[in-house]
């Protein structure tokens, strides 16, 4: 009976470490995001969109291995959806952030 107990104990331990990671990451997220400048809330949203498209990792692991074709089709669509978010998310964040400028320093005169 011992092997069965061990086999059950392993995933159980992992479950808890996953939940710990989730909790700590949430606290870090709350702490870091609270300090994000309100000016940047729109770019923040597109940046976190792109970052949460990390789901691409899961999608690759469903589309790439030697699984039945149906599984891989779902995975490939998920890869497409995630990559779209990654590409458009990072590009539009960069595009928006480029627009945020400070006023010209005194001495530089009025802007053209």
Residues 77-96 that bind another protein (CB under 8 A): 77-96
Q: Is 36 in the site for another protein (CB under 8 A)?
A: yes
Q: Which is nearer to another protein, 3 or 38 (CB)?
A: 38
Q: How far apart are CA 101 and CA 93, in angstroms?
A: 15
Phi then psi for 67, rounded to 5 degrees? -100, 170
Member of 2, 3, 35, 107 binding another protein (CB under 8 A): 35
CB of 4 to another protein, least distance (A): 12
Count of CA atoms in the C-beta half-sphere (13 A) of 15: 5
């Amino acid at each position: 009976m011992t092997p069965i107990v061990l086999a059950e104990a392993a995933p159980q331990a992992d479950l808890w470490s996953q939940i710990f990671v989730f909790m700590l990451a949430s606290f870090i997220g709350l702490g870091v995001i609270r300090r994000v400048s309100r000016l940047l809330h729109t770019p923040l949203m597109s940046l976190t969109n792109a970052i949460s498209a990390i789901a691409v990792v899961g999608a690759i692991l469903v589309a790439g291995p030697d699984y039945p074709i149906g599984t891989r089709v779902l995975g490939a669509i998920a890869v497409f959806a995630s990559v779209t978010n990654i590409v458009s998310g990072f590009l539009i964040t960069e595009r928006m952030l480029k627009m945020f400028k400070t006023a010209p320093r005194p001495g530089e005169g009025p802007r053209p």
